[in-house]
Amino acid sequence: MTAAPAVDLRPAAPRGQHPGNLASQPSRSTRKRWFDGWGLLMLPLALFLLLVFVAPLALVLARSFTDPVTGLDNYRDFVSSSLYVDVLANTFRISGVVTLLTLVLGFPYAYLMTLATPFWRGVMLIVVLVPFWTSLLVRTFAWVLMLGDTGVVNQTLLGLGVVEEPIAMIRNSTGVIIGMVQVMLPYAVLPLFATMRSIDRRLLQAGEGLGARPMTAFWRIYAPLTLPGVAASCLLVFISSIGFYVTPALLGGPKDVMIGELIVQQLSGVLRWGFASALAVALLVVTAALLLLVARIVNVGKFMAGDR
Amino acid sequence: MRIGQLVTAVGVTGAMVMLSACSGSNAAEDGKTLTIVAWGGEDQKAHVRATAEAWAEENGITIKQDSPTDYAKLRAQVESGKVSWGAVEVEPNFAHTACDNGWAEKLDSSIDTSLLKDVEVTECAVPVLEYAFTIGYNTDTFAHDHPTTWAEFFDVEKFPGKRGFWKYATGAMFEAALLADGVKPEELYPLDIERAFEKLDTIKDQIVFYETGEQQQQLVSSGEAPLIQAWNGRIFSAAQAGQPVANEWNEHLVSYDQWIIPKGSAQAEVAQEWLAHYVKDLEGQAEYANATAYAPVSEGAMEFVDPEVAKELPTAPENAAKMSTVVDYAYWAEHYDEVSKRLSEWAAQ
């Protein structure tokens, strides 16, 4: 990325003074800002992150190679059992499906919010935020009552004669995904709405005025402008989903264990901290690798910075 | 002027906060505080009220509470040398592990264990409470005839429907499978895990795993899993709330929790004193049993339990006569890790 001129607060250089020199050293303005003291504003955050994020992470990494004995034993245990690898794969599979579903559900919802009157927009915002105000455990347990074999949905379907046998909707991936999509929906809707609200709808009129059909105008003009929001919401949902623990434990079956649950079990249940650390490191590495891969296909940095 | 007022207000507030913080820490430093740690909720409150509050008042001790018990936190406290917990309620297999690894204090000889069951006492731990793994069943689904043995619990022809088990290896599922397969209770340990899995295979598609006590109650009372390997107290409280459920006591397995004192706790001395009191506090244990339907652990305490509750406890003579065995947590301390992994693999297949 090139330096963003909007953030440059220095007085403008006198015109005509070494223009070629400035262009050949794009990093100069950044360096200059350090001297001005602006860069120091970053220091508290950097220190904070170093203390509460980088340092513990380094300890986790170190522990994965040293506890109980120095070496690669923990990682060997991890790759030698199909159980753990399957759990990791399952974690990414479920997180991916949840990300996709929240996008499909969240996109039109956020779009409707930008079209609604202020009153209805407020109502829609509250509806999407309600899950934030209830405990995760309560919400998840409510799904148990809704989706179980003897739950509200199945009893209704059975009563109406739509099905003969109750449909299995919990203790499998379906239950986990339904529960997680509900929890993650606000994280998808809010960034999408924030992006969409800042898009000038007159661009659509302009497109239509130049002869585009409404759908064409929407997909060719509006949709690409929402991509920063799409990227932000997908990232938020995907990264948060990877760490889910309560929902898969209550709504999933033995085949739907996610890695968060496994790490907790190793950490608090059997107290194999070295192995738990190795699981955490493996999760981090695979997640980072996946994001890098995605970033090569889609320019995530560009979307996130809003630098179009 | 206004800014001056604001600064004064902030200053006064800050001073007050600091003063109150100081007075708080003074009370904690005089060595007369006991932090009791258990699984939390109403259970823990009732427990502390029944067995600690009167004693603490008499001896001038401040009781603090923390919850829930977290083994990783306990180990981290011990390893960092900063132990803020006094007495901690744990599962017995962890008590064994903690004792072996030096994470728990050895108990004083001043603690009189003569009223306790030998199997529930180790050099680091005394029992907190007792409960049973019973056959919990839905009384609507099985109005006339219900399973009365683990063999019948595994008989899906005679008693169709889903069966619930606790999802953890120490949930007595393996013990139940082996009893169902004809192993004598006294020959149960060491468990023949292979044989248990073979028996579990026969009902695998009918098994539902639960994580929490609430889930357990919901599964059996809704009829979703009309049979469940239950915690007797959970079934009792669901029945009291009007749900169509009951405990079958025949062939039940007895389990218990234990108190341990984390190694290096500054409160170790006062915790030892409290445990010495706890094991002799028959009325306190009985009061806790009345509130929660967990059984008291000291001989003689049953006399003080409300007769309506007493008949629902594993320590009632008519129930105790139907026991198959007490879960052997020394075995589980050694094999928990390996069997847990096997169980996860088996369940995921």
CA distance B298 to chain A (A): 29
- Quick one: pLDDT at residue A301? 56
Mutant choice from B227, B335, B345, B346 vs A, greatest count of A C-beta within 10 A: B345
Summarize the confidence of residues A27-52 as an average pLDDT: 76
B33-130+257-320 CATH, one of 3.40.50.720, 3.40.190.10, 2.40.30.10, 3.50.50.60: 3.40.190.10
Is pLDDT above 70 for A286? Answer: yes
Domain A60-305 sits in CATH at 1.10.3720.10
- Quick one: pLDDT at residue B30? 55
CB contact under 8 A, B218 and A145: yes
Is pLDDT above 80 for A300? Answer: no
The model's pLDDT over B304-324, given as tens digits with 9 standing for 90+, comes to 999 999 999 999 999 999 999
Which helix (H) or strand (E) covers residue A255, if one does?
none
Interchain contact A63–B (C-beta under 8 A): no
The Cα B266–Cα B82 span in angstroms is 9
**Amino acid at position A69, single letter:** V
Summarize the confidence of residues A25-54 as an average pLDDT: 75
The Cα B121–Cα A24 span in angstroms is 78
Question: Given pLDDT bands bounded at 50, 70 and 90, which one contains residue A8?
Answer: very low
Closest CA to B49 of B285, B267, B279, B236: B285
CA distance A268 to chain B (A): 5
Interchain contact A149–B (C-beta under 8 A): yes
Instruction: Using an 8 Å CB-CB cutoff, list chain B residues near A265.
Output: 340
The contacts of residue B172 (CB under 8 Å, 6+ apart) are B133, B166, B229, B253, B255, B327
Cα dist from B223 to A155, B139, B144, B157, whole Å: 12, 9, 16, 17
Cα dist from B239 to A212, B45, B217, B230, whole Å: 68, 22, 9, 13
Domain B131-255+321-348 sits in CATH at 3.40.190.10
Instruction: Using an 8 Å CB-CB cutoff, list chain B residues near A255.
Output: 347-348
Residue with tokens 């169902």: B180
Q: How many residues can be counted in chain B?
A: 349
Q: How many residues can be counted in chain A?
A: 308
Summarize the confidence of residues A153-176 as an average pLDDT: 92
Interchain contact B224–A (C-beta under 8 A): yes
- Quick one: pLDDT at residue A34? 58
- Quick one: pLDDT at residue A15? 42
CA distance B273 to chain A (A): 28
Tokens of B37: 């740690």
Residue of B209, B336, B337 lying closest to A254 (CB–CB): B209
Closest CA to A227 of A288, A305, A292: A305
153-192 of A, contacting B, C-beta below 8 A: 171
- Quick one: pLDDT at residue B318? 96
How many other C-beta atoms lie within 10 A of the C-beta of residue B248? Answer: 21
CA distance A142 to chain B (A): 11
Mutant choice from B165, B344, B345 vs A, greatest count of A C-beta within 10 A: B344
The fraction of chain B above a pLDDT of 70, given in percent, is: 91
Strand, helix or coil for residue A147: helix
Residue of A145, A254, A268 lying closest to B72 (CB–CB): A268
Residue of A144, A268, A272 lying closest to B218 (CB–CB): A144
Reduce the secondary structure of chain B to three states and give it as a string: CHHHHHHHHHHHHHHHHHHHHHHHHHHHHCCCEEEEECCCHHHHHHHHHHHCHHHHHHHCCEEEEECCCCHHHHHHHHHHCCCCCCEEEECHHHHHHHHHCCCECCCCCCCCCCCCCHHHCCCCCEEEEEEEEEEEEECCCCCCCCCCCHHHHCCCCCCCCCEEEECCHHHCHHHHHHHHCCCCHHHCCCCCHHHHHHHHHCCHHHEEEECCHHHHHHHHHHCCCCEEEEEHHHHHHHHHCCCCEEEEEEEEEEEEEEEECECCCCCHHHHHHHHHHHCCCHHHHHHHHHHHCCECCCCCHHHHCCHHHHCCCCCCHHHHCCCCEECCHHHHHHHHHHHHHHHHHHHHC
Lowest-confidence pick of A68-72, B251-255, B327-331:
A68-72
Mutant choice from A250, A268, A277 vs B, greatest count of B C-beta within 10 A: A268
Instruction: Using an 8 Å CB-CB cutoff, list chain A residues near B72.
Output: 267-268, 271, 273
Residue of B75, B336, B347 lying closest to A254 (CB–CB): B347
The model's pLDDT over A202-260, given as tens digits with 9 standing for 90+, comes to 999 999 999 999 999 999 999 999 998 998 899 999 999 999 988 998 899 888 899 99
CB contact under 8 A, A83 and B337: no
CB pairs under 8 A between A and B: 58
Interchain contact B208–A (C-beta under 8 A): yes
Q: Dihedral, CA atoms, B52, B54, B58, B64, nearest 10 degrees?
A: 40
The Cα A75–Cα A276 span in angstroms is 10
Q: Are B204 and B347 in contact (CB under 8 A)?
A: no
What single-letter DSSP state applies at residue A267? I
The model's pLDDT over B93-141, given as tens digits with 9 standing for 90+, comes to 999 999 999 999 999 999 999 999 999 999 999 999 999 999 999 999 9
Residues of chain B with CATH 3.40.190.10: 33-130+257-320, 131-255+321-348
Residue of A150, A265, A269 lying closest to B224 (CB–CB): A150
Please tell me which residue, B153 or A129, carries the higher pLDDT value.
B153
Backbone angles phi, psi at B292, to 5 degrees: -130, -10
The contacts of residue B208 (CB under 8 Å, 6+ apart) are A171, B162, B163, B164, B165, B219, B224, B225
The Cα B234–Cα B292 span in angstroms is 9
Instruction: Using an 8 Å CB-CB cutoff, list chain A residues near B141.
Output: none
The Cα B262–Cα B73 span in angstroms is 11
Interchain contact B211–A (C-beta under 8 A): yes
The Cα B225–Cα B206 span in angstroms is 9
Closest CA to B165 of B129, B219, B233, B223: B219
- Quick one: pLDDT at residue A29? 53
What single-letter DSSP state applies at residue A150? T
Q: Are A245 and A258 in contact (CB under 8 A)?
A: yes
The contacts of residue B175 (CB under 8 Å, 6+ apart) are B133, B188, B191, B253, B324, B325, B327
The model's pLDDT over A111-126, given as tens digits with 9 standing for 90+, comes to 999 999 999 999 999 9
Instruction: Using an 8 Å CB-CB cutoff, list chain B residues near A68.
Output: none
**Amino acid at position B254, single letter:** V
Tokens of B323: 């026991």
What single-letter DSSP state applies at residue A256? G
Nearest chain A residue to B226, by CA = A150
Instruction: Give me the helix-helix angle, B329-348 and B193-201, nearest 10°.
Output: 40
Instruction: Using an 8 Å CB-CB cutoff, list chain A residues near B334.
Output: none
Domain assignments of chain A as residue spans, ordered by start: 60-305
CB contact under 8 A, B75 and A271: yes
CA distance B211 to chain A (A): 7
Mutant choice from B70, B208, B210 vs A, greatest count of A C-beta within 10 A: B208
Mutant choice from A271, A273, A275, A279 vs B, greatest count of B C-beta within 10 A: A271
Cα A5 vs. chain centroid, distance in angstroms? 29
The complex scores an ipTM of: 0.79
